[in-house]
Amino acid sequence: MTNLDHGKFTQMTTVFHSLLALDVFALFFTGYAIMFNDELWWLLVLMGGNVGVVTVHRLAGLGLIALIVFWGTMMVVTDTGRRNFQRVIPTGDDIAAFIQDVKFMLGSADERHPNARQFAGYEADEVPLLSYIGKGVVFIFAIELTLLVVSGLLIWSKTGLMEYFATRTAAMAFVVFHGLLGVIMLMGVMFHIFEHGFHPAFYPLETKAFIPRQLVPESHDDPEDVDGTGIERLSLSPSWSWAANLMGVLVVIGIVSVLVGSIFDEGYPVPRELAVGGGPTNLLLTVGINIGMFVLFVGLVLSLYGNVIRRRWQRQLEREREQRAAADGGEVTSAED
């Protein structure tokens, strides 16, 4: 391990991240089984047909509401939550980092700003918890999840929604908004899976989202003093090149297929009256959308694998403490202390 895999998040944050990921994956699988019921017929059957998939989707929606309420409460009532919220707020350095990144891409700057260059030779304490990109992801996901919850609750009963807005067209617009917002979030989640699962420094998993910082040592007691993050001591996994290239292709195909399918494939979220019609053949669309679901499945597996790694790491720390306690005749403390 190097400074790159030093956990930066609290245990509550890592547990919340895992629960939120599982809930969002459940919403995606059930939501797209409803949305693309022709292309994903097998997923619909697997979850018990129309009644079963709608029930699971609504239960996952209630779970999402509970998680949002819990996290919002923690941000307000706990000192750690308030500090974390302050760290997510954009600062002047984030604006400077964005401007310098634009200049760097245009060739008018020699290097990236420290606030945007977390993995390129800086010490772990010299870089922020989140870059401006990470902060943007947090805010975008928070806004999308909030809008999905609000629109989902409003369309829970289409009859009630039609009465509230007085017209069928307004109710139909809310259904379309909810579905298309899910498509937009799906694209972000697919990129998130690729970024944090297939980054050359972390492949096959970025552990800091799963192992809390109190379980990670501050140093490795190396005999030599190494400057930087330790990235210079890493070596690429032999399978990274083909796995990253293959996953990149699958992510692009999945995103394009779901986006095109949501436009051309009539039904939910695009009603027959608003469907463009035509488009790619059913076979191509079916293959592409199923590839998108496979990318989500990979993300689910990586999320579960991250929790397995966390548990193995806890057990390893406990064994080391037990060995030291046995040698010193002292008491054994918990790995989470």
27 within domain boundaries: yes
285 within domain boundaries: yes
229 within domain boundaries: no
Q: 277: left (phi > 0), else alpha (psi -120 to 50), else beta?
A: left
The total domain count for the chain is 1
H or E element in which residue 132 lies: helix 132-154
26 within domain boundaries: yes
pLDDT of residue 107: 87
Instruction: Tell me the C-alpha distance between 64 and 321, whole Å.
Output: 37
User: For residue 282, what are the domain limits?
Assistant: 3-216+237-328
Query: What does the DSSP assignment read for 33-62?
Result: HHHTTTTTHHHHHHTTHHHHHHHHHHHHHH
Type of residue found at 242: W
Residues 266/232, Cβ–Cβ less than 8 Å: no
**Closest among 251, 256, 110, 266 to 194, alpha carbons compared:** 251
Residues 33/44, Cβ–Cβ less than 8 Å: yes
Per-residue pLDDT of the chain (337 residues; tens, 9 = 90+): 444 444 567 888 889 999 999 999 999 999 988 888 888 889 988 988 888 998 999 999 999 999 999 999 998 898 888 888 888 888 888 888 889 888 888 888 888 777 766 554 455 555 666 778 788 888 888 999 999 988 888 777 665 555 666 566 666 777 778 888 888 899 889 988 998 889 887 788 888 788 887 777 655 555 455 555 556 667 788 899 999 999 999 999 999 998 888 877 655 555 555 444 444 557 888 899 999 999 999 999 999 999 999 999 889 888 888 888 888 765 555 555 5
232 within domain boundaries: no
334 within domain boundaries: no
The CATH code of the domain that includes 321 is 1.20.950.20
170 within domain boundaries: yes
DSSP state of 234: -
